[in-house]
Amino acid sequence: FQQEVDPEGRKVLVLLLDNAGWHRAKDLQVPPGLLLLHLPPYTPELSPAEPVVPLLREAVANESFPSLEALQERLAERCVYLQEHPEVIRGVAGFGWIPEE
């Protein structure tokens, strides 16, 4: 991540993480210039990913699927759609502090 964003190492990068247990590696070596900042517990409104979850749910709401693979396929199709239509995501997760490309 740091090599992609700041290969010269001139910036201090802050990476926001939620407090999920899998974001807490005991032996993680964080390179200089990268700061991991964990969001406070029970604050989903601060996580940019949280408002996107309903966009995924609406693709599968009130439906049953014959298999897990069928469910995964539908969700994958929805992810492709959202990737191709960033304005939909910006509409729900357009936080002012997220830089635009």
What's the pLDDT tens digit per position in 55-78? Answer: 999 999 999 999 999 999 999 999
Give Cα 17 distance to the centre of its chain: 9
C-alpha to C-alpha distance for 36 and 44, rounded to whole angstroms: 17
Summarize pLDDT for 13-53 with one digit per residue, the tens: 888 887 777 666 778 888 888 888 888 877 777 777 788 88
C-alpha to C-alpha distance for 77 and 54, rounded to whole angstroms: 15
Instruction: Give this prediction's pTM.
Output: 0.55
18: Cα within 13 Å, side-chain hemisphere? 13
